[in-house]
Amino acid sequence: MRSALELAAKEEFDILVSDIGLPDATGYELMKQVKARHGIPGIALTGYGMDDDLAHSREAGFEDHVVKPVDAVQLEQVICRIARSNGKST
């Protein structure tokens, strides 16, 4: 998580795509901090897909929750939708 936060502070990103299970924290914690500090929208990309998991993702600030395995077309559609809703061209 630390390296993601450092990178977000140095570079400009349109969207964060993060797993929920990270080596040094959770994707939920990462999303909360990135959203608060930089306003970057996020997509949770995870193997957890129960209703509670989706609710937890929303509470953390993720705009969408994609359950693995995911194909590239599905992920691209989600990225494009979020980019459009946040005023970015796709």
Tens of pLDDT, residue by residue over 22-76, are 999 999 999 999 999 999 999 999 999 999 999 999 999 999 999 999 989 999 9
What is the domain partition of the chain in residue ranges? 2-85
* Distance between CA atoms of residues 1 and 30, nearest Å: 6
The three-point CA angle 39-16-36 to 5° equals: 25
Q: Which residue has the tokens 């630390």?
A: 2
Q: Which CATH class is domain 2-85?
A: alpha beta
* pLDDT of res. 72: 92
DSSP, collapsed to helix, strand or coil, labels residue 9 as helix
Q: Are 20 and 28 in contact (CB under 8 A)?
A: yes
pLDDT digits (tens, 9 = 90+) for 15-26: 999 999 999 999
β-partners of residue 43 are 17, 64
